[in-house]
Amino acid sequence: MKIIVGLGNPEGKYNNTYHNVGFSVVDLFAKQNNLKFSTQKCRALIAKGEGYILAKPQTYMNLSGDSVYELKKYFKVPLSDILIVLDDIDMPKGKIRFRQFGSAGTHNGLRDIVNKVGITPRLRIGIGRDQNMNLADYVLSNIDEQSKLILNDSYMSACDLIKKFINGELCQDTTI
């Protein structure tokens, strides 16, 4: 059993923001695989696939570790079988990086997961950074149309990597 956790904030007003890129990726993966987020368990919306679970924590971003901890405990999976999908302001917009291990970097949601659960594989989607905006304002701002085009391509590539992770084919650090 693999668990794919997309990070984001639960309220609808955050749907089109940079900080909800993780939700957007798992939503696309669910759509590609005809799955629906129809269950709420472990403080997350859940969609079940063949041998895997997609999860969108319903805690706020900075408390993502609470939900991931409960998912790990309930489904009894090792840390190596939990993939965290998240935004990354320190990477260029549209860049994708998979790592099995590593620090949380500047991401508070990932930092909370590392502190409460441990180090898990992660799939970071670069969202760039607007140097003219406060960091919190930027990650919670709406994604503009030009950026959506760039990110939509990244979402497709991220879904391909998620499939490889589920199938046990993604074993080395990868950057796209």
Q: What is the DSSP string of 88-107?
A: ETTS-TT-EEEESS---TT-
Our measurement of the distance from residue 63's CA atom to the centroid of its chain's CA atoms, rounded to an integer in Å, reads 14
Residue tagged active-site, from 19, 72, 122, 129:
19
Residue 19 is a catalytic residue: yes
The catalytic residue positions are 19
